[in-house]
Amino acid sequence: MRTLMGSSLTLSLVLMMLLGPVYTPAAVAETGGQNSSGNSPVGLWKTVDDATGKVKSVVSIWVENNKLYGRIQKIMDPDLKDPNPTCQDCTGDQKGKRVIGLRILWDLRKDGDGWSGGSILDPESGKIYKCLLSVEDGGKKLKVRGYLGVSLLGRTQYWLRE
């Protein structure tokens, strides 16, 4: 009995080491996306409009194959005339897709204290920008910088942890 329990525990430990944590959109939604370190961007984030300061949407961020991805989970105060909009100005495989469920962050890699090397999509314009992310304020804020060319030529938003 002791040998069987020991081998089951060993097998479980080996599988956890090989597979590591899995951060898919479903797993993030189930766990609330919280990460014990507070320094991870994994989880649910409220996007905030630069001009009005109002929350626009909720984005789910997860890690897959050591890269960061994000998808719109919810739109706050949708337009009554078009409560489930699509991204008509998007290009490629994103064109015409519903904004809810739309992938807006992809291929960001850990870079020191932040994440870089990936892209962010603005669903209102359909434009794709290079992206830098960093977690601030003890994990309560996410600094999101979208830019063209060099990061000096861009715009920063702060998202709030859901």
Tell me the pLDDT of the chain (162 aa) as tens digits: 444 333 333 333 222 332 333 334 444 333 334 443 578 999 999 999 888 999 999 999 999 999 999 999 999 999 899 989 999 999 999 999 999 999 999 999 999 999 999 999 999 999 999 999 999 999 999 999 999 988 888 999 999 999
Cα 143 to Cα 22, 77, 152, 155: the distances in Å are 24, 23, 15, 10
For residue 49, give the nearest of 80, 84, 77 by alpha carbon.
77
pTM for this model (two decimals): 0.76
Asked if 145 contacts 120 with a C-beta cutoff of 8 angstroms, the reply is no
Q: How far apart are CA 77 and CA 68, in angstroms?
A: 27
CATH number of 22-161: 2.40.128.520
